[in-house]
Amino acid sequence: MTTVRQRRGGRVTEGAEDQPSEEKNVKSDGDVLSDHTGGKLWNILSITLGGIVAIGVGLLTSFYVATLHENDLWFSNIKEVEREISFRTECGLYYSYYKQMIQAASIQQGLHGLVYDNKTESVRTINILERMNVYQEVFLSILYRILPIQQYLEPVYFYIYTLFGLQAVYVFALYVTSWLLSGTWLSGLLAACWYITNRIDTTRVEFTIPLRENWALPFFAVQIAAITYLLRTHLQPAQERLTLLAVFIATFLFSLTWQFNQFMMLIQALALFILDCFDMLPTAKVTWLYIIQISGLLLVCVLQFFNSMILGSLLISFNASVLIARTIQKNLKKGNLFNRLGKLILHVLLVSSLTLLVNKFIKKSLNLESDEHIFKFLKAKFGFGSTRDFDANLYLCEEAFGLLPLNTFSRLSDTLLFYVYIFSLFPLTVAALIVAFRNLSGSNQVQEKAEYTITLKPDAAYNLIHTVLFGCLALSTMRMKYLWTSHMCVFASFGLCSTEVWRLILKCVHLYTSQRTQMIKYSIPIITLLYISYKFWPGIMDELSELREFYDPDTVELMNWIKSNTPNTAVFAGSMQLLAGVKLCTGRTLTNHPHYEDKHLRERTKQIYQIYAKRSPEDVYRILQSFGTDYVILEDSICYERRHSRGCRLRDLLDTANGHIMDGLGESEPDLKPSLYPRFCEEIKKNLPSYTLRFIRVFQNKTFHVYKLAKYK
């Protein structure tokens, strides 16, 4: 197994701040009117300083994660095969296409190899650009080939530095979003500091570099920043058009770089739908955002050779249904409270029904089944589906797809982030409910005294519902926490630096004055920043000084043996995770791999995994031969797995799917029966004639056993 080991030697003032809305010198969105040249100059200086700090913090974050990666693996000192093995599981698969493009005789030949790939899945030619989101690897490899940097920078460093550079974009976007919401760049600085000090829960880029989310989330953050700016009132037409263009570009890049983009944007579309129903966002801007989501996704669909998973996405069906429903219900936002509630319920039912009908029609017409494993997983997770489905259980048994662990909140609380987040969430949620009720009842049209009016700006309303919905996603699925925790940093810092939040709280306790609000909104964030610096700076320095080294001799030995002792055309079978490394390190052909968004591949993987089930040698030999297998790799860590409890080990999932009783003490379902055969991965090591006739052991070490399929009739 891959491990790491210890090395053996070798007071701040702002110009552009929100002011109380009831003061007469306030323009829309709380921008202060500068009545003299000095005020304008101070405004420019403040924005310039804030921008410099944003860029600086982003670059520091990039340097920080790059240093952690180097210190953890001693990446600059280890061999190329060790560097490639460090790209674990699907990360190695994605990086292999970058390597393939770099090593191709020409760019055209490299692209041809991806479009007509017959090494990723044996006895089958697939289009990698259609199946997987690897345009970023293609673009980066072309850039590396045409730039005069080959003699100065190795391809692997060009790749990882690009990903670490995107972290600077990510933090910059979070900083800007918080700044836009609060009106002070102090809020952005606090958001960036929280992102860094909560690194364990906000990113995993330093040890899963090529993972699709590490490419996509920076663009998602840019999109959220652009939407936040778009929802400000009184934008000039030119500003609005440029912002819509920025939203489109960010949406397109986010969609292009991650296969799960459609599910994230569906949640975003739900947020827009909810706010539009309660008249908390301008309808015209919401319509543009729906159209941008659809057009961005369809453009990606074209680039991915009309990928079926995109065409059958719920996002396209939902957005189209919302736009259709609007044309049917034209007077949705007119009438009294009960009238509007009735229309709203009917609207929700209409959109839901249309979404399901449109989606079912598309999938039925095109015979789409690419994402059915995701819905199986969701049904099983929430108790609506069979728990014997192999694909569903494969996800259910992984910790990453379980509920968010409670210790996450204790870590987030250590930095005060979670406490401040709840502090900000509560008053803004109350304000949103009041505004929503007032909008539905039509009482917003009644003139009220300013000091008793509770308002919520559209940009704040969007970020509120965004954080709530993505919080629900993170609570239900741990792997998705990175979408929530990064925005949590933005939302908490906004709440702590927001004039609106402090004004609302101080009014509730009858202590509100404009001067007191301004004093609190600056002093408390500064105190928080000082506390975070005092408590966590020594730990960060210790972390940066801790030196480790990559250490996985068994896998290195296996990869070197494959390269030296097997033909280039050899086909290998084994676990998805290991085979991704085999492709990257050796270039050999695979029977299966970790990119699971294809029904044929899922069925193939289940068949290949019978090497860990209770099956006869004849059955296993027949299955492997049907996929053109030359060698099969067995892993003791899977055959004798102890990481998961009984019922969640891979062999248990296979036994249940095959209708066999699981090994070990514990109850089994009554209709499961004992297998007629022992477990293949255990029995093959006994060198019985029925096994040695078909499988010849050609390599073994403490972790791996490689068998060559004999020519047996």
Q: Which of 63-72, 409-418, 446-455, 488-497 has the lowest mean pLDDT?
A: 446-455
Q: Dihedral of CA 667/670/676/677: which sign?
A: negative
Co-location of 318 and 344 in the same domain:
yes
399 band by pLDDT with thresholds 50, 70 and 90 = confident
Query: H-helix or E-strand containing 20?
Result: none
**693 against 332, higher pLDDT:** 693
Predicted local distance difference test score (pLDDT) of residue 30: 44
Residue 205 belongs to some domain of the structure: yes
pLDDT tens per residue across span 159-199: 999 999 999 999 999 999 999 999 999 999 999 999 999 99
What pLDDT does residue 43 have?
A: 85
Q: Which residues of 482-510 are buried (b: 16+ CB within 10 A; e: fewer)?
A: bbbbbbbbbbbbbbbbbbbbbbbbeeeee
pLDDT tens for 315-365 read: 999 999 999 999 888 777 787 888 889 999 999 999 999 999 999 999 988
Q: Are residues 639 and 512 in the same domain?
A: no
* Residue 481 resides in a domain: yes
The answer to whether residues 446 and 327 belong to one domain is yes
pLDDT of residue 34: 44
pLDDT tens-digit readout, 113-166: 999 999 999 999 999 999 999 999 999 999 999 999 999 999 999 999 999 999
User: Would you say residue 36 lies in a domain?
Assistant: no
Confirm whether 78 is domain-assigned. no
pTM of the entire predicted model? 0.92
Task: Tell me how far apart the alpha carbons of residues 329 and 346 are, in angstroms, rounded to a whole number.
Answer: 9
Compute the distance between CA of residue 308 and CA of residue 367 in angstroms, rounded to an integer: 9
**DSSP for 449-486, written as a single string:** -GGG-----HHHHHHHHHHHHHHHHHHH-GGGHHHHHH
Average pLDDT over residues 295-317: 94
Rg (CA), the chain: 28
Shared domain for 573 and 507, answered yes or no, is no
Contacts of 387 (CB under 8 A, 6+ apart): 380, 393, 396
**To the nearest whole number, what is the mean pLDDT of the chain?**
90
Amino acid 400: pLDDT: 86
Which tens digit of pLDDT belongs to each residue from 4-48?
Answer: 555 555 433 343 334 333 333 444 444 444 455 767 888 899 999
pLDDT band at 446 (very low <50, low <70, confident <90, very high): very low
Quick one: 478 and 625 in the same domain? no
Share of the chain residues as helix, strand and coil, in percent rounded to the nearest 5: 65, 5, 30
Number of domains the chain contains: 2
Residues 580 and 452 in one domain: no
For residue 430, pLDDT beyond 60: yes
Asked whether residue 666 is domain-assigned, the answer is: yes
* Residue 448, pLDDT above cutoff 60: no
Using alpha carbons, select from 593, 563, 604, 601 the residue that is nearest to residue 706. Answer: 563
* Pick from 72-76, 245-249, 363-367, 696-700: least confident: 363-367
Q: Same domain, yes or no, for 284 and 250? A: yes
Residues 577 and 483 in one domain: no
Specify if 617 maps to a domain: yes
Return the pLDDT at 336. 85
DSSP 693: T
Q: Do 431 and 291 lie in a common domain? A: yes
Compute the distance between CA of residue 227 and CA of residue 234 in angstroms, rounded to an integer: 15
For residue 198, which amino acid is it?
Answer: N
Beta strands 3-6 and 631-635 are unpaired
In the predicted structure, residue 618 carries a pLDDT above the cut 80: yes
Asked which of 500, 517, 541 is the last residue of a domain, the reply is 541
Would strands 3-6 and 548-551 be described as parallel, antiparallel, or unpaired?
antiparallel
Instruction: Give the SS3 label for residue 573.
Output: strand
Are 528 and 565 contained in the same domain? no
| Containing structural domain, residue 673 | 551-707
Residue 671 belongs to domain with CATH number:
3.40.50
Which residues partner with 571 through β-bridges? 589
Q: Pick from 510, 541, 572: which residue ends a domain?
A: 541
Q: What is the mean pLDDT of residues 509-531?
A: 92
Which residue, 607, 646, 597, 586, is CA-closest to 103?
Answer: 586
Considering 541, 562, 585, which residue would you say is the last residue of a domain? 541
- Asked whether residue 573 is domain-assigned, the answer is yes
Q: Which residues contact 463 (CB under 8 A, 6 or more apart)?
A: 177, 181, 224, 228, 487, 490, 491, 494
Predicted pLDDT of residue 219 = 98
Residue 74 pLDDT exceeds 90: yes
Other Cβ atoms less than 10 A from the Cβ of 643: the count is 11
Two structure tokens written together for 106: 């020409």
Mean pLDDT of 252-274: 96
- The answer as to whether 18 is a domain residue is no
CA–CA distance from 491 to each of 58, 312, 474, 501, 614 (Å)? 18, 33, 16, 12, 52
CB 232 within 8 A of CB 459: yes
Task: Identify whether residues 536 and 560 lie together within a single domain.
Answer: no
Residue by residue, DSSP assigns 633-689 as EEEHHHHT--SSPTTTSHHHHHHHHTTBPPSSSS---TT-B--SS--HHHHGGG--H
pLDDT of residue 13: 38
Q: Are residues 288 and 267 in the same domain?
A: yes
